[in-house]
Amino acid sequence: MKTKKIVLPDSELPRQWYNIVADMPNKPLPLLHPGTKQPVTKELMNRIFVEELVNQEMSTERWIDIPEPVQDVYKIWRCTPMARATQLEKALDLPAGIKIYFKNESVSPAGSHKPNSAVAQAYYASKQGLHRMTTETGGGQWGSAMAMAAEMFGLDLRVYMVKVSFNQKPYRKMMMNTWGADVFASPSDTTEVGRAMLAANPDDGGTLGGAISEAVELVMKNEDARYCLGSVLNHVILHQTIIGEEAMRQMEMVGDYPDVVIGCFGGGSNFGGIAFPFLRENLAGRRKTRLIAAEPTCCPKLTRGEFQYDHGDSAGLTPLIPMFTLGHAFHPADIHAGGLRYHGAGSTVSQLLKDGLFEAVDIEQVESLAAGVLFAKTEGIIPAPESTHAIYAAICEARAAQEAGESRTIVFNLSGHGMIDLYAYEQYLSGALKNYVLTDAEIAKTVSVLEKLI
């Protein structure tokens, strides 16, 4: 009997996250205080974030134990399946030597990879005795994951959701409410930052950077609250490495190993989560896998941004992060892949890109949705708009191998399903969906605000 899904038994689930910092040839540059421009202190970071997460953010240990209560919750949906996309391969009429596998993170209760970090963050917050958390969300995948995790560990959660997505995806708000979280469209009138944004432009559809500013402002005004972030930072990517660790064991189970690993790219946690374990093998000289980050053409920080210190949020409240960025005031087009609408990349992934240790490609909205429909019609699963970028990149890799007459084993991460994003598909099917390509002048303008600190 042919095997389709590859799943690890609970007893073989990874019990440690992998910290790429331990193996980086050039370590990431430190975060800087936004005022003094000096490296941030643990004290400042602890004021914003949960302490254990700050420890992990600054850790250089290679392996970090996954606490047992976190493992217990992971087991609700993990190990996530690795599957051979046989029906997709057939539709593409690929020669036998070209194989496409996908790691299916869409099976989590929140529908994406995001709970991998949300559960860990909620656990550490509750362990620290905290009760109030704030966060932001773009497409809503992170916010819903954090709502679920917060409820499981008895925390109150307030979510600022980018208004574009809040309007496009009303069901995400209902999801978060069902898990007990309070949700506000950002810009909102509940913070100074939000009110200023609304005063400048009452129709402001919001950005992830703006939503972060609102969530952080709330924490700075409430001693007992902490902020949590769903991507960009090292500790978030750390938690997501469970994806790649499982994926590597699953490929071993079928005696295969990827030539190419692909993840869509917003802040870096999904991409880093699937790619870093394979990058470790590259760095150790044991294996050679090409790693590809797929970003949207309308938000091309990796392919066209600058490597420079920049704020993580639009209002400049967060520490300065060394990142590939389009500038923190950059306002991407209102594409449906809300989770990829972020101006910068995390410090670790940025350093690795600068060092040429992975590749980046940019993909247009219409093409990505077309790949999503093809995937839905062949493999059955309707992918999140974010994930369709990885699918399109995987198809391009398959086609390139075919043209070159080469064999190639391709693995991509299906970061989430699109059940809550069906409006994107409706728009695609009706022909209303648009592509957005930035001119060089537009990019030059948005990055011109960056101070040259590197």
Whether the CB-CB separation of 138 and 167 falls below 8 Å is answered with no
Say whether residue 374 binds a second copy (CB under 8 A): no
**Which residue do the tokens 């500013």 mark?**
213
The only residue of 26, 76, 128, 437 in contact with a second copy, by rule CB under 8 A: 76
Give the torsion through C-alpha atoms of 79, 296, 359, 417, to 10 deg.
10
- Residue number, 66 or 125, with CB nearest to a second copy: 66
Give how far Cα 422 sits from Cα of 148, 292, 296, 336, 370, Å. Answer: 22, 26, 19, 10, 13
- Residue number, 13 or 283, with CB nearest to a second copy: 13
The only residue of 366, 373, 435, 436 in contact with a second copy, by rule CB under 8 A: 373
Which residues, at least 6 apart from 63, have a Cβ–Cβ distance to it below 8 Å?
16, 17, 18, 19
Cα torsion angle, 417, 423, 424, 426, sign: positive
**Which residue do the tokens 């930052």 mark?**
193
Using CB under 8 A as the binding rule, the residues of this chain from 379 to 418 that contact a second copy are 379-382
Cβ 265 to a second copy, closest distance in Å? 24
Cβ 307 to a second copy, closest distance in Å? 38
Dist. CA 294–CA 362, nearest whole Å: 6
Helix pair angle (115-127, 51-58), 10° resolution: 120
Say whether residue 257 binds a second copy (CB under 8 A): no
Beta bridge pairs of residue 32? 39, 320
Q: For a second copy, how many residues bind (rule: CB under 8 A)?
A: 50
Token output for 237: 């990517």
Using CB under 8 A as the binding rule, the residues of this chain from 425 to 444 that contact a second copy are 425-426, 429
CA proximity to 438, closest of 323, 287, 326? 326
Say whether residue 87 binds a second copy (CB under 8 A): yes
Binding mask 134-173 for a second copy (x = CB under 8 A): --------------x--xx------------------x--
Cβ 452 to a second copy, closest distance in Å? 46
Number of CB atoms found within 10 A of residue 269's CB:
33
Cβ 440 to a second copy, closest distance in Å? 36
Using CB under 8 A as the binding rule, the residues of this chain from 109 to 128 that contact a second copy are 109-111, 115
Say whether residue 107 binds a second copy (CB under 8 A): yes
In the complex, the residues that contact a second copy under the rule CB under 8 A are: 1-5, 7, 9-11, 13, 71-73, 75-77, 83, 86-87, 107-111, 115, 148, 151-152, 171, 174-175, 177-180, 373, 376-382, 419-420, 422-423, 425-426, 429
